Structure 1
């Protein structure tokens, strides 16, 4: 287990948090078996914690237009490009589970262009990277290319919104020096006990 602090910023005690924030953290702990450090890192600013997780859940917890695994692919690929260790490790773990493929998850984390993914997913990740790294260049031709792969306007919005949201998240994780939980490194690699 790492001895490094989970954040450069204060990490409050659960007992000192507003009830709704504490309840959300405890619900995640119940489901995952541990508290992901992002919850504890952001909890010191309760209003921002609520806004962050409301938008996160609105983007990531639906299965319309994109699968949950494809949503995680966007996070992992763009987080790698943004140099965000926390998000690559944490969302890489979620991708391993949702894609049911540790190999593909690791490939996407390293270089999605060489990953064993479909041409549709490659087009999705090309667009997500453009939004994450050079959004000023997005134009109608980019939308046309995605439509050729069957993406609707709603799905294209989701690709862009996930890339944009996690670009912000990556920067917060990097500024705070957020440490990935040790539990993430094995998730989806070994059978659950």
Structure 2
């Protein structure tokens, strides 16, 4: 009897990444991260499952993510933080983060078309002066960090951002450049739940 042929792509679709790490034995701290994420967004991110093979890295990334995205003392809006995440992640072609943060922006705005425009090119999306200044700044952080100079802060200040908000915007952009690079370097699979959400 002939063996059934494997459907191309099926195994790859189930893999977390290009790595071959074996079965995960998540420790209590990793399980707590998984539970918190599932309670908040309805599923566990593929990146979290992969990083759980290095629990200290998972916890460090989760801590930094919370510090920049859910800062109780921060004054950037959730929409602004997610805009930064999406602009940076789109520029870096990071599928897990583009899918995840587009879904979150769709939740916040209820406007899937606007979010789609941001995904492709934020300059073609309807942005206010403040949002445009933030998006242009974080794009430069992503594309040419060595070329940033003090004058690059002027459009942000002119758009009404306080210096503490500029600090927040830079931190969010820097964090996503870090997480995007881990995802891209290891071929971490995007979550289909995020892609499908709120379309």
- With normalisation by structure 2, the TM-score equals 0.87
| Runs of 4+ with deviation above 3 angstroms | none
Distance 1:69 1:172 in 2: 24
Q: Of residues 15, 21, 26 in structure 2, which corresponds to 1:17? A: 26
1:31 deviates by 3.1
**Distance in 1 of aligned mates of 2:11 and 2:126:** 36
Q: 1:48: which partner in 2?
A: 57
2:70 to 61, 65, 68: 61
Counterparts in 2 of 1:30-45, with a 5 A limit? 30-45=39-54
Alignment equivalent of 1:27, drawn from 1, 23, 36: 36
Structure 1 portions without partners, runs of 5+:
none
The aligned counterpart of 2:100 is 90
Given that 1:12 and 1:44 are in contact with CA atoms closer than 8 Å, whether structure 2 keeps it comes out as no
Number of aligned positions between the proteins: 187
Q: Does 1:76 align with 2:83?
A: no
- 1 CA distance for matches of 2:194 and 2:34? 17
Could you tell me which runs of 5 or more consecutive residues in structure 2 were left unpaired when the two chains were aligned.
1-8
Structure possessing the higher radius of gyration over alpha carbons: 2
- What is the SS of the residue equivalent to 1:125? helix
State the superposition RMSD in angstroms.
1.7
Aligned-pair CA distance for 1:12 = 4.5
Q: Residues 156, 11 of structure 1: CA spacing in aligned structure 2 closer, same or farther, 3 A cutoff?
A: farther
The normalised TM-score by structure 1 is 0.90
CA–CA separation in structure 2 for the residues paired with 1:2 and 1:125: 37
Matches within 5 A, 1:156-175: 156-175=166-185
SS at match of 1:35: coil
